Structure 1
Amino acid sequence: MTTAVFLGFIVFSLYLAIRSKKGHGAQSVHDFFVASRQFGAYLVFFLAAGEIYSIGTMVGFPGGIYAKGPTYGVWFLGYILLAYPLGYFLGPKIWQAGARYNAITLPDLFKGHYGSRALELIVAGSSILFLLPWGQLQFTGLVAALKGLGWEFDPVYLVLISAALAFTYIAISGVRASAYIAILKDILMVVAIVATGVAVGWKAGVGDVFHAASLQVSNQMSDTQLRFSMSTMLFQALGFYVMPFAVQNFFTARSANTIRRTQVAMPLYMLMYPFLVLASYYAISQNLQLASPNEAFFAAAVRLLPDWLLGLVTAGAALSGLLVLAGICLAIGPIVTRNLLPGMPEQRQKQGAKMVIVVYLVLSIAMTLATPNLMLTLINTTYYGVTQFFPGVIVILFSLKVRPMAIALGILSGQGLAIALYAQQADFGGINLGLVSLAVNLLVTVVANYTPRLARVQPA
C-alpha cells in the first residue's frame, strides 16, 4: 500500500508538469526559466515556498534536533523568520532590477549594473561551485527519507531515479512545471508533518514525550552555542534571498507587489514546526537506533502511521527534494549558457542548459555517494559562499556607485577566507565563520573602492 500510494502521487506530479505546459507551445528562454514574468501571487508563493520548505524541513531539522538537541531548532527557525522581513523589502527591488536588466540569472544582474565581464564570471562560477553542496543536500535528504521509510535500495539507484525525475520535470516545461508541482508538494508535506506530529501526541502523549526526551538532551545553551546560533541566524538570513534560485524565483512574478503579497503569507508555514519537534523528541524518547540522525522524522512516521498514510509521507518527502533539485538546475543551466558562454543564441540556450543540468546532477550524485554529510554541514557550506554576494546585490538594488573591481575583490576575499577558515576549523568563540568572512568582504570592498591605484584598474 505504501508503494502504491507513493507511485500514484509521483505519476500525478508528472501529469501536473505536462498540464503546466498547456497553452505555452514552444517556450522561449525567458518563459522556460522565469515564466515570462507572468506568475501571479499564488504561483510565486508556492514556488518560493517549495524552495524554502524542502527536504531539509522533513530531514535536516528533525535530524539536527536528534543529533544536537533542541538548541539546533533555535537557529533553524530563527534564520528563516529573520529572512522574511528582508524578503518583503528586498524582494520587490530584486524584481525591479531583473526587469530593468532583462535578467534571468543572478549574474545577469551583476552584468547589467556593473558592466564588468570579470565580475560576471566570478559570480557565475562561484554560484555553481557553492550550489553543488545544495544539490548534495537534496540527494542526501532523499536517500535518508526513502531508507528511513524502509526502502532498502542501494543509494546509487535512489539518487539516479531522483535525478531522472527532477530532469523530467524540467524538460517538460521548465519553471512552470516546478510551480504546479509545488502546490501538490506543499499539501503533501504539510499533511505528512501534521499527521506524524498528531500521531505522536495521540499515541505517546505530548507531555510524556517531552519529559522522556528532556532526560536525554539538554535545553541549555552555552555562551558559545548562543553566539553561534545568533551569528548564524544573521549570516544566513542575509544570504537567504541572494541564493541564485531564490533570485530567479522573484523574476517569475508579474509585479513587485506580487512579491510583497507572497512574503506576508510565508511565515504561516512555520506553524508546522511544532509537529516536527514532536516527531524529533519521540525518536529521542524511544531510544530509536537510527543509521543516521537524518532518519529521525521518518522513524517516528514508520512506527506510528498506517501504510497508506506512510505512502503520502514518502511522496511529500520525495517531491520536497525533487522540487528543489529542479529549482537549482533551472538556476545553474542558464548561468552557464548565458553567463559563462556569452554569445550563445537564445534558441540554443535552452537546449544547452539541459545538457548542463545533466552534468550538474551527475556531479551532485557523485558528491552524495562519495562524501555523505550531516545536512547542517551542507547548508553551512553553501551559505559560506553565496552570502558573500550580499554587498554586491545591495549596491545593485539601491543603484549605488561602487567600482566592479572592489565588489569582485570583496567576494573573492570573503569566499576564500570562509573556505580557509572552515578547512582549518578556526574558532572565533562560536561566531559563524561566514559572518567573519562577510565582514572582511565588506572591509576589502570599501578599501578597494576608495584606493586610488585600484580605482584606476577596472576589469575588462
Structure 2
Amino acid sequence: MNPIALGVFLLIFLIVTAMGFLAVRWHPAADEHTLDEWGLGGRSFGTWVTWFLLGGDLYTAYIFVAVPGAVYAGGWPGFFAIAYSTLVYPLAFTFLPRLWSVSRRHGYVTTADFVRGRFGSRALSLAVALTGMLATMPFVALQLVGLRAVLDVLGIGGGSGASPFVRDLPLLTAFGVLAAFTLSSGLRAPALISVVKDTLIYVVVVVAIVYIPLRLGGFTHVFAEVRQTFARVDPKTGTPRGALVPEGQGYWTYATVVLGSALALFAYPHAATATLSSQSREVIRRNTTILPLYSLLMGMLALLGFTAVAAGVKTSSPQTAVPQLFENVFPAWFAGVALAAIGVAALVPAAVMSIAAANLFTRNVYREFVKRDATARQETRVSKTVSLLVKAGALVFVLTLDDTVAVNYQLLAGIWILQTVPALVGGLFTRSLHRWALLTGWAVGMVYGTVTAYGVTSPAQGHFGGNAARIPGIGATGYIGLTAFALNVLVTLVLTTVFRAAGAPEGTDETEPSDYTADRCDPAGRATRRP
C-alpha cells in the first residue's frame, strides 16, 4: 500500500462524493418527486452537461480497464471498441434526435414507453423493458469490477489472507456511497460528477500516452517489445500469446463484433436516459458530432495496453494491467490521481444505469401492470427503491462470481439488447412493422442468441465462454448477437407480411409524424419548431 497514492485517491473520492450529495441543490425544481426530475434531471441539460454525461455514461471504468486489458492480453481484439465507437455516432445522429422529439412531446421516460405508444402493444413494451433491465445488470456489475481492480492495486482490496468481509469492505463502502447519492440526487449527481470524471480521465490519458512511452524508450521500443512478447508460445495452449492484426477467420469475428456493438450501443437504457435528459433536439445533434472525441481517447487507452506489455507488467488479471502500470510508473501522487479517475469512472455509469433500469421497471412494469393510477410521487419512490436493488444485485454478482465469468455474462448484454433494435429504431422511422411480428422476432432472437452463447464453452469458464460462434450458411466465426439480430429482422419481416395478409389487428399509434421532428415543446406539450 502506497500511503501517498491512497491519500490522493481518498481525497478525490471524498470530493466527488460531496458533489454527488450537493447535486440535489443544482437547479432544483419546484417538485423533485417526479421521474422527470429525479430520473431525467428535469430534462434540462445543455450541450456541455449532456456531452459529459453521455461520455461518462458510455465510456465507463470497465472500458478504461477492459480495452487496454484486452490489448495487453491478446492484441488486436481490444481495438474493436475504437472501431465500433467510430461507427456508432453517424447511426445515433439519424435516430436519437427523433427519439428525443417524440419522447418530449408525449412525456416518455423510457424506450419501452415509446414502443408502447408507437405500436400500442403492452406485451412488446414489456419485452423491451425486461430486456433492457436484464442487459443493464451485468454493466452495473462490471463498473464494480473496475472499481475493485483499482482497490486491489491500491492494496485495500482483494487480499487473499483476509476474511471475505474484510477483503470486500472497501467495495461495500463504495457501493454504499454510490447508493446514497443516487437516492438523494438522482440523475443530477452523475451529471455533475461526470464533469470531474471526464476531466480527470483526459488529463491522465494524455499524460500517460506521452510520459510512459518516453520512460520506456519511445513507441519504437514499445512495439518491438510487443512483437517479441506476442510471438512467444503460451505453454498452456501451445499458441502465440497474441497478434497485432486478425488472422484468417478473425476478420469475420472482428467485423461482426464491431457492427453488432455499434448497432447496440445507443439501444441500452442508460444511453436513452442520458439522451432524454437534454433540453433540446439540437443538443443531441451537437453531441453526436463532438462525442467522437472519446473515440480518440479510447485509441490512446488501447495503446496503454501495449505499454503495459513493454513495461513488463505482470498480473493475474488483464483488467488490472493498466492500474498496475500507473502504480509502477507514475510518481505516487499522480498514481493516486490516475487510479481515482478510474474509480470515479465507475460511479457515474453505475448511477445512470441503475436509474435507467429502475425507470424501466417503474414505468413499464409497475405502472403498466401493477398500479395503473400510480401518482408521480409513487413512481419516484418505486424507482428509487428499484435503483437500490439493481445496485445490490450487481454487487452480489461481483462478490459471488469470478470476474472473468462476469465478463462473459456482460457479452450477453449486447446479444440481448440488439433484439430490441427493430422495435425501437425501426419504430422511429416506420409504422409498417406489425407488433406481433416484432414480438415474435424478439423472442426468436433472444432464444437463439442465449442458447448459442450458452453452447460456446471454454476450459476455464465452461458455458458462456465467448461471444462468437459459427455463422449459419457462411461457416465463418462471427458475433452471436449480430446473427441473432439478423434472424430477428428476417422473422419480423416475414411475419409482418403474414399478419397483414391475415388481417391481424394493429395497435393504436398515439404519435404523429410531426412529433418526430419537433425542436422543443411548449408548456402544454405541443410540438414546436424553430423558424
TM-score by length of 1: 0.95
CA distance in 2, matches of 1:414, 1:277: 32
Q: Which residue of 2 aligns with 1:108?
A: 113
| Dislocated runs of 4+, deviation >6 Å | 457-460
CA distance in 2, matches of 1:144, 1:98: 38
Name which of 47, 56, 62 aligns with 2:62: 56
Counterpart amino acid of residue 21 in structure 1: V
Q: 5+ unaligned residues in a row in structure 2: which ranges?
A: 159-165, 231-242, 457-468, 509-531
**What are the superposed Cα offsets for residues 73-121 of structure 1, whole Å, 9 maximum, x if unpaired?**
3311101110011112221111112113311111111111111111111
CA distance in 1, matches of 2:263, 2:351: 23
- CA apart distance, 1:430: 1.7
- CA apart distance, 1:441: 0.3
CA distance in 1, matches of 2:54, 2:503: 39
Q: Which residue of 2 aligns with 1:11?
A: 14
CA distance in 2, matches of 1:273, 1:107: 31
Q: Which residue of 2 aligns with 1:144?
A: 149
Name which of 457, 463, 470 aligns with 1:427: 470
1:360–1:376 CA distance, 2 compared to 1 (3 A): closer
Higher-helix-fraction structure: 1
1:24 aligns with 2:28: yes
**Stretch of structure 1 that moved more, 317-326 or 336-345:** 336-345
Q: Which residue of 2 aligns with 1:439?
A: 486
- CA apart distance, 1:454: 6.8
1:68 aligns with 2:82: no
Q: Which residue of 1 aligns with 2:331?
A: 306
CA distance in 2, matches of 1:91, 1:459: 24
What is the root-mean-square deviation of aligned Cα atoms in Å? 2.0
Q: Which residue of 2 aligns with 1:221?
A: 246
CA distance in 1, matches of 2:481, 2:379: 34
**What are the superposed Cα offsets for residues 16-37 of structure 1, whole Å, 9 maximum, x if unpaired?**
2244322415413211111222
CA distance in 2, matches of 1:287, 1:7: 28
Q: Which residue of 2 aligns with 1:123?
A: 128
Are the counterparts in 2 of residues 137 and 378 from structure 1 also a CA contact under 8 Å?
Answer: no
- CA apart distance, 1:141: 1.3
Are the counterparts in 2 of residues 200 and 304 from structure 1 also a CA contact under 8 Å?
Answer: yes
Name which of 317, 329, 343 aligns with 2:342: 317
- CA apart distance, 1:379: 4.2
Q: How does 1:228-307 map to 2 (within 5 A)?
A: 228-307=253-332
CA distance in 1, matches of 2:425, 2:294: 27
Q: Which residue of 1 aligns with 2:102?
A: 97
- CA apart distance, 1:278: 3.9
Are the counterparts in 1 of residues 190 and 347 from structure 2 also a CA contact under 8 Å?
Answer: no
Q: Which residue of 1 aligns with 2:239?
A: none
Per the alignment, in what secondary structure is the counterpart of residue 292 of structure 2? helix
1:371 aligns with 2:398: no
Q: 5+ unaligned residues in a row in structure 1: which ranges?
A: none
Larger radius of gyration: 2
Q: Which residue of 1 aligns with 2:366?
A: 341
Report sequence identity in percent.
24
Q: Which residue of 2 aligns with 1:401?
A: 432
Q: Which residue of 1 aligns with 2:514?
A: none
- CA apart distance, 1:431: 1.4
Name which of 84, 108, 113 aligns with 2:89: 84
**Stretch of structure 1 that moved more, 409-418 or 364-373:** 364-373
- CA apart distance, 1:193: 2.0
CA distance in 2, matches of 1:49, 1:369: 27
Q: Which residue of 2 aligns with 1:385?
A: 416
Name which of 185, 202, 207 aligns with 1:173: 185
Per the alignment, in what secondary structure is the counterpart of residue 241 of structure 1? helix
Per the alignment, in what secondary structure is the counterpart of residue 267 of structure 2? coil
Name which of 23, 37, 41 aligns with 1:35: 41
Are the counterparts in 2 of residues 178 and 326 from structure 1 also a CA contact under 8 Å?
Answer: yes
CA distance in 1, matches of 2:450, 2:422: 19
Q: Which residue of 2 aligns with 1:46?
A: 52
TM-score by length of 2: 0.82
Q: Which residue of 1 aligns with 2:504?
A: 456
Q: Which residue of 2 aligns with 1:209?
A: 222
Are the counterparts in 2 of residues 58 and 193 from structure 1 also a CA contact under 8 Å?
Answer: no
CA distance in 1, matches of 2:338, 2:184: 25
Per the alignment, in what secondary structure is the counterpart of residue 431 of structure 1? strand
- CA apart distance, 1:455: 5.4
Q: Which residue of 2 aligns with 1:418?
A: 449
